[in-house]
Amino acid sequence: MEMLDRLMRFFLQTGLPPHGFCLLWDPGLVWTHVIADAIIASAYYSIPVVLWLFLRRRPDLEFGWLLGLFALFILACGTTHLISILVLWVPAYGIEALVKVITAIASIVTAIVLWPLLPKLVAVPSPSQLQSALDRLHVEMAEREHAEEMLRQSQKMQAVGQLTAGIAHDFNNLLAIINGNLERLKRGSDDEHKTARSIENALAASERAARLTSQLLAFARKQPLMIVPVDVNQAVCDLVPLIEQTTSQKMTVETDLWPESLDIEIDKNQFDTAILNLALNARDAMPDGGLLRITTAMEGGSVAIFVKDQGVGMDSETISRAVEPFFTTKPVGSGTGLGLSQVFGFVVQSGGQVTIESEPGTGTSVKLSFPRRVGGTDEASAGC
């Protein structure tokens, strides 16, 4: 007690008594101050921790930096209460003044930047407003999906109408040929040459009808496929003589084959028909002759066949409709418009893809891609 009295007298003489002296060291008052300041400081220290965790989980907040500044201000306020506990026994008023200065700076900066942001803060939508906007968005999405579904249905009906009209037109023409020749045979004739020609015309029309049916099945991807392993290089080589016989002599056919065997699993007859259809299209696109190049290559795990001509080419609108059934740029009577659609249907049914690249005046390149056969060999290709 004597030592404490001397210390108190020293503080009184120097003018720096601790805060507890002002409270007459009343235990009730002293501990009330200690407990209250300790609780306030702990609460002030917990708030910045919560804000820090919140900002870490929501780095997208536009006003995150303001919350960080507010956390600094709260932290400084909590420190002033800890200093208040200290000066109850130790007259560290210089430290207390420094902490208060820091707190004052943090508070005034926070207040200064807060006022200009008030309009933006007020404009932040409330949860109810956000929910209302979300509900409106859901309604708009539902309406858009309904409109898109109606558009798709309309396009489907339009496509069905075009397909039905094209089929009916082509089959009516074929039936007219068959019926006309059968009527001629029914009337009878002593001219064996006319009789034979009528039979040949009827048979040719029926064969065209069968081919048309086959093309429709391929387009609809319902054509039964006889899947067998096929070496693409060899298949192309076998087709070259047939292409040269079928197309104009003015058109030159060249091949550029991958140096190794390219094995795929497809319907060989459908594959030959697809390549022949592309060659016939190339012939029609080069009425004055030109070069038809057939290239095979490996692209990742796929086998690619490129059929490229030097014809008139196609614009982007024509390319977008090229595989539509009965769409053709040829004169009436020069084609059914099912060639590319048959190629497309067969390739897709076989698990492949069709890519068309063309520009007016630069020719057309059609790429057919098929998955390479698992377990295929890497033997050197003999070439054509």
Residue 372 tokens read as 């390479």
CA distance linking residue 353 with residue 338, whole number of Å: 17
Confirm if 109 and 69 have CB atoms less than 8 A apart.
yes
CA distance to 1, 121, 381, per residue, from 26 (Å): 15, 48, 106
Task: Kindly state the average pLDDT of the residues 229-241.
Answer: 89
Token pair 């210089």: residue: 94
DSSP-assigned beta bridge partners for residue 253: 292
Closest by Cα among 147, 160, 79, 69 to 108: 69
Check residue 368 and give its pLDDT. 93
Summarised one tens digit per residue, pLDDT across range 202-212 is: 777 777 676 66
Task: Kindly state the average pLDDT of the residues 161-183.
Answer: 67
Task: Kindly state the average pLDDT of the residues 348-354.
Answer: 88
Greater confidence (288 vs 125) lies with: 288
Confirm if 283 and 245 have CB atoms less than 8 A apart.
no
Q: Name the percent of the chain lying above pLDDT 90.
A: 10
DSSP secondary structure string, 331-365?
A: PTTS--S-HHHHHHHHHHHTT-EEEEEE-TTS-EE
Helix (H, G, I), strand (E, B) or coil at 261: coil
- Residues 6 or more apart whose CB falls under 8 angstroms from that of 67 comprise 51, 54, 55, 61
Angle at 88 between CA 86 and CA 89, to 5 degrees: 80
Is pLDDT at 374 greater than 90 in this prediction? no
Beta strand 290-299 pairing with 263-267: unpaired
Computed over every residue of the chain, the mean pLDDT equals 78
pLDDT band (50, 70, 90) for residue 224: low
Greater confidence (170 vs 67) lies with: 67
Lowest mean pLDDT among 135-144, 332-341, 352-361: 332-341
Angle at 92 between CA 87 and CA 94, to 5 degrees: 130
Closest by Cα among 343, 284, 348 to 312: 284
The model's pTM is: 0.46
Summarised one tens digit per residue, pLDDT across range 26-38 is: 888 888 888 888 8
Residue 240 tokens read as 């070259």
Check residue 333 and give its pLDDT. 47
- Residues 6 or more apart whose CB falls under 8 angstroms from that of 359 comprise 313, 314, 315
Q: Name the percent of the chain lying above pLDDT 70.
A: 75
Task: Kindly state the average pLDDT of the residues 217-228.
Answer: 63
Check residue 170 and give its pLDDT. 66
CA distance to 41, 226, 339, 348, per residue, from 266 (Å): 79, 7, 18, 11
Greater confidence (196 vs 238) lies with: 238
DSSP secondary structure string, 32-62?
A: HHHHHHHHHHHHHHHHHHHHHHHHHH-TT-T
Residue 253 tokens read as 């056919």
Lowest mean pLDDT among 66-75, 119-128, 200-209, 323-332: 323-332
Is pLDDT at 8 greater than 60 in this prediction? no
Greater confidence (124 vs 278) lies with: 278
The b-or-e profile of 345-377 (16+ CB within 10 A means b, else e) is: bbbebbebebebebeeeebbbbbbbbbbbeebe
